[in-house]
Amino acid sequence: MECLHGTALRHVEQRTPTNVRATDDIIACEVPVALHYNAVPFAVLMATPCDLADLALGFSLSEAIIGPHDAWQLDDVLEELEGFVVNMRIPEARAARLAQRSRPMPSYGGCGICGSASIEDVLRMPAQVSSQLQVDESALHRALDTLHQQQPLNAETGATHAAGFANARGELLLVREDVGRHNALDKLIGGLHGHNIPAGDGFVITTSRASYELAMKAAQIGIPLLAAISAPTTLAIALAQSTGLGLVGFARDRKCVVYAHPHRLRRTTP
């Protein structure tokens, strides 16, 4: 498969009012990634095919398929003709509960909850965020200032979202990219778990809007603050308010709007 590193070359025409030029362009890949638990298919994600182990683990944690202390095993990541299959082994009790949650449709790159079979599956309420972390505005802006330097896929293609995790000082510890904003966050969550980085010890910034599924995933694993460069939705705000998640939107150009739990983001005086 040509997309092993998340990008592929395509022949294109670059057009201006005075010129047409044939050239090659670097394009972000989007392929189906099937997640199988205990040899049973559960979901197909449309994702960028890099950091797939992180994606599978992060999706499993953020969707409450497994808990942070559950035993699990990544059996293999298999390349197929047009995509990948990720096989995970989870506890039988978890697999039995999972069998009650049907996802008969694929989840597309812009939607983390497409294919869920019921409203109850979608609108589940995570536990309260237990972290007491508060972050200075200056730390948020410091993390945002450095995020663009750690987005190699987007630098090449202009087509991917990024999710980054920063400590309380605003130092980025981990960044993941994907064509889907929810996939980028799931990859980040899987990376945090794999690197033994406590979710409650920092905050997440994302280069997208703050949709419900992003707020839900962040709260599910105990992230205390989620900041997005674009707007949140009403449902994301409601979930953040209910769970103790600090929610920030329009975080760019040294400005931001706080939508939930403003105590999470301490005002930095000029």
Instruction: Enter the tokens of residue 236.
Output: 């994301």
Return the number of other C-beta atoms located less than 10 Å from residue 218's C-beta.
32
Identify which of 207, 170, 156 has the alpha carbon closest to the alpha carbon of residue 185: 207
Q: Please give the DSSP secondary-structure letter assigned to residue 198.
A: -
CB-based burial label for 206 (10 Å; 0-12, 13-18, 19+): buried
> CA–CA separation, 151 vs 234, rounded Å?
29
> CA–CA separation, 114 vs 123, rounded Å?
12
- Active site includes 111? yes
For residue 89, the cross-strand partners are: 73
> CA–CA separation, 48 vs 157, rounded Å?
12
| Candidates 3, 29, 50, 111; catalytic one | 111
| H helices present in 78-211, as ranges | 92-98, 119-122, 137-147, 152-157, 181-194
> CA–CA separation, 231 vs 208, rounded Å?
8
Q: Which residues are catalytic?
A: 111
